[in-house]
Amino acid sequence: MDKNAAIGQRASKTAMFAAIHRYLSLFEANPDFSCKDTLSGLFIPRLGKFLLGFAWFRRRVHQKLHNKVPGTYPYVIARAKCFDEQFFKALQAQVPQIVILGAGYDTRAIRYQSQNHGSRIFELDTGVLQSRKRAIFEKNGVVIPDNLTFSPITFGKETLADALNKAGYDSTQTTLFLWEGVTYYLTESAVFETFAFIKNSAASGSELLFDYFYKSFVDGEDDYYGGKEISASVTKTGEPFLFGIEQGGLEQFLSKLGFAVASRYLPEALERKYLSSNGDTLGKVYGFAECVHARLMQQEVGK
């Protein structure tokens, strides 16, 4: 299998993985723990969706997730709610452009369409995945809004600039970039290239929301909540995590790339803000992951 096919397969797998988690959250007894992504079930194979309709099967899935990859379900839900919140704030502020990097089966452009009063949204991912996504929407009567543009990219052959420029991206407009569940699967050079693209091709005031793993975990230290089990699972699949940022080194890392931290959510903060309600909790998230809202420090495009 060539490199591009492997990237496409992984993108499809991780997109489905995230969609299943968001769909599972719809069944939470406490509505505060739901992602409220009612479109997520469209992407799940018919048999899987049928089985997830039974409480006994959902309990079995949750138990299996907790045993094999503890912290994963709570983390994916907390992360999704964090990104939903920032996306909604951008719409309220009428940010001209929102770019979703590695969009997968993201449905925000449609779920929040009634709150969109002028923001243009670009979804970037492989052409194969985007074609399947569009076909599923069409089959289920989901109307793709005019302000949503799918921007296919062939990794290894096209740059982000190539793909987005063809889609009509405007580098003079303030932009919010969402980069959810992606960085740890990329090489260091690919991560740096993405930051460089945003720094050199986004207007002053542009922002980036992303999540990342601690470099110590990526390098093999598993003394974090969920670390041993996740490491064992990754070893078994043969798809190791590739990129991380030193714990405690986020500000320095971003500063060198031309960004500043606007806000950040350590594991405990994610649990406290998104997974706690009326004395109830959805559980513990990974102990080695953070979500970060960063702001571009540049004042002029290209500087």
Predicted local confidence at residue 2, as pLDDT: 57
Closest CA to 214 of 275, 176, 264: 264
Predicted local confidence at residue 7, as pLDDT: 62
Q: How far is CA 188 from CA 109, 185, 218, in A?
A: 29, 10, 12
Provide the H-helix boundaries in 96-159: 108-111, 127-139
Kindly tell me if the per-residue pLDDT of 6 is higher than 80.
no
Question: At 87, which helix (H) or strand (E)?
Answer: helix 72-92
- Where in 68-222 does DSSP place strands (E)? 97-101, 120-125, 148-152, 175-179, 207-213
pLDDT band at 301; cut points 50, 70, 90: very low
Predicted local confidence at residue 128, as pLDDT: 93
Q: Which has the minimum average pLDDT: 2-6, 46-50, 232-236, 275-279?
A: 2-6
What is the token pair recorded at 251?
């500000």
Contacts of 4 (CB under 8 A, 6+ apart): 154, 155, 156, 157
Residue 82 near residue 274 (C-beta atoms within 8 A): yes
What is the token pair recorded at 290?
């953070």
Question: What mean pLDDT comes out for the span 202-227?
Answer: 96
Where do we find the tokens 């670009």?
Answer: 122
Contacts of 116 (CB under 8 A, 6+ apart): 91, 109, 145, 147
Where do we find the tokens 């931290």?
Answer: 261
Q: What is the pLDDT of residues 130-160, one digit of tens each?
A: 999 999 999 999 999 999 999 999 877 889 9
Question: What mean pLDDT comes out for the span 13-32?
Answer: 96
Contacts 24+ apart (CB under 8 A), 230-234: 230/69, 230/71, 230/72, 230/286, 233/68, 233/69
Predicted local confidence at residue 302, as pLDDT: 44
Q: Is 5 helix (H, G, I), strand (E, B) or coil?
A: helix
Predicted local confidence at residue 5, as pLDDT: 57
Domains and CATH numbers, the chain: 3-296 (3.40.50.150)
Strand partners, 239: none
